[in-house]
Structure 1
Amino acid sequence: MDHESVEVLKKELSQVEEWEKEQKDLWFWEKLGRLPFALLDRITPKVVQDKIGLAIDELGSYIQTGGQYLINEKQVYRQFFPQQDHERDDLKLIRDLPLSRMDEIASGIIRSSVRTATVQGATTGIGGIFTLAIDIPLLLGLSLKALQEISLCYGYDPKERSERIFIVKCLQFTSSDIVGKKAIIEDLSSFHSGERSGQVMSQLEGWREVVFTYRDNFGWKKLFQMIPIAGILFGAFINRSTLHDVAETGMMMYRKRRIMERLKLYESTQIPSS
């Protein structure tokens, strides 16, 4: 195994913890974007409301079975091992790679996902408020796909139900306020320590909050999608920023887990740092 030294791992961990501190407040426009939601909800077409309800159901299905969102992991494995077949345990091999290699592939996935989300947001912005019914499930699907691929980059299997809960918690973290972010970090600490607490496993109501806060974050998008040109610009901007925040959260949370598990390995085996 070509693992980093204890000193390097602790430095990487401190960077993740610094990022967590920076997430403790909402961006000003995100706060402002939630203000018109109560009014907008009254004028939102039924087709949009139906899509929101469908997204809630789909997230529940994803937690239980993976639903339609489970990905083809071999596409990610090829980025790590392009010259090899993929009939063996690639996930185990990835777990033993240097953290820098994991970061490299995960960063590439983020860039690709953000580009896709930007184009999608601009496209669905053309049709005004009514195309939001198309945009919501598409953005949700892109978010789940990106998080699953990032989980593979750090050696975790999204086909496991516990990992799918972790992924939904990452979604929830992205769209939560300061109080919610603090609570979710505490929830995820059981994953970071290698445990699977019954408390986290039982908090499935969290996925409902994810979708409803997603809906809130679309407040300004709903307003500006009524204006054709603004709908294109804001559709691209909102989708781009949303996907970037989701993917960045996933990368940071999975990095933290991998770092914590390697530090725990050093402690248990008493490997001298070098």
Structure 2
Amino acid sequence: MLYEQRMKVELELWQHKMLARPSVFDRVSKSVQSRINRIIPQKVHDVVTVTIRQMVRGVLFGAAYTVPEQPVFASLYDMEEAVLRRVDVYRKTAAAEGGITGAGGILLGLADFPILLAMKLKLLFDIAAFYGFDVNDYRERLYILHIFQLAFSSQEHRRNVFEQIVDWKEKSSQLPEDINRFDWQQFQIEYRDHIDLAKMGQLLPVIGAAVGVVVNYRLVTKLGNTAMNAYRMRILE
């Protein structure tokens, strides 16, 4: 019970953060990013959107076959300790991968984007299984995409996504059953804008390796924390 109380406190703090209004810095950053996006030709947006859509679809429909069996835990504490250990494995792997690609110049640095994306989505599949949710259910895969957006979006978009996962059991029945109807362009724009500035440093000579290690480690840590709280919302109901 003590651990459950601690989970509830941490969850409430996280929920408050998700619903917080965008700060002045958030609004300025989003405004600048929106202007840049308007300058970029629509054909470029279309290419990026299709690329991310195919990549995410491939991970979503492929990773399900490598998800660990749903383990049985004696307590919530044991379950979350297992989740934290899994997150630690992924963030150390992501950090090492970021360092290697960062040291390899622009070409390897660019290769880091799809590698890290696949790694983060696979982590979400593992975490879902640890919390006892069946990722073979299409709606659980959509929930995973919502978690991804919560972790890597502007504060304004994050608030909207958070509202969509509240009372998920009820709302999921109203979601489109066709994954092609998911808003891929909004997904890729928010994801790209969120990590662009941090990840660009990985392409620079000399400091690229160090930047890749730190940024990848932090991104996966943030994703793990977001996923834990998103699933806490459901199991504590």
How far residue 10 of structure 1 moved from its aligned partner, in angstroms, is 5.4
User: Which residue in 2 is equivalent to 1:195?
Assistant: 170
How far residue 113 of structure 1 moved from its aligned partner, in angstroms, is 0.7
How far residue 170 of structure 1 moved from its aligned partner, in angstroms, is 0.4
Structure having the larger proportion of residues in helix: 2
Q: Deviations over 1:57-78 (max 9, x none)?
A: 222455xxx323225234xx4x
| Shift in alpha-carbon separation, 1:184–1:32, aligned structure 2, 3 A | closer
User: Which residue in 2 is equivalent to 1:212?
Assistant: 189
1:15 correspondence with 2:10: yes
How far residue 177 of structure 1 moved from its aligned partner, in angstroms, is 2.0
TM-score of the two chains, using structure 2 as the length reference: 0.79
Q: Deviations over 1:138-179 (max 9, x none)?
A: 111111111111111111111211110000000011112222
User: Which residue in 2 is equivalent to 1:69?
Assistant: 63
| Shift in alpha-carbon separation, 1:133–1:16, aligned structure 2, 3 A | same
Distance (whole Å) between structure 1 residues aligned to residue 31 and residue 64 of structure 2: 31
Consecutive unaligned residues in structure 2, runs of 5 or more: none
Consecutive unaligned residues in structure 1, runs of 5 or more: 78-90, 261-274
- What is the percentage of aligned positions where both structures have the same residue? 22
Q: Deviations over 1:230-249 (max 9, x none)?
A: 21121222211111111211
Please say if residues 119 and 236 of structure 1, whose CA atoms lie closer than 8 Å, have aligned partners that are also in contact: yes
Distance (whole Å) between structure 1 residues aligned to residue 217 and residue 50 of structure 2: 23
Alignment partner of 1:131 out of 90, 98, 108: 108
Query: What number of residue pairs does the alignment pair up?
Result: 226
1:56 correspondence with 2:53: yes
How far residue 131 of structure 1 moved from its aligned partner, in angstroms, is 2.4
1:110 correspondence with 2:87: yes
| Shift in alpha-carbon separation, 1:156–1:100, aligned structure 2, 3 A | same
User: Which residue in 1 is equivalent to 2:156?
Assistant: 179
1:250 correspondence with 2:223: no
Distance (whole Å) between structure 2 residues aligned to residue 222 and residue 15 of structure 1: 29
User: Which residue in 2 is equivalent to 1:158?
Assistant: 135
| Shift in alpha-carbon separation, 1:201–1:247, aligned structure 2, 3 A | farther
Q: Report the residue type matching 1:155 in the other structure.
A: G
Please say if residues 187 and 200 of structure 1, whose CA atoms lie closer than 8 Å, have aligned partners that are also in contact: no
Please say if residues 35 and 219 of structure 1, whose CA atoms lie closer than 8 Å, have aligned partners that are also in contact: no
Distance (whole Å) between structure 2 residues aligned to residue 101 and residue 113 of structure 1: 19
User: Which residue in 1 is equivalent to 2:118?
Assistant: 141
Q: Deviations over 1:11-53 (max 9, x none)?
A: 5323202122234458x69x869957939x97xxx9xx96774
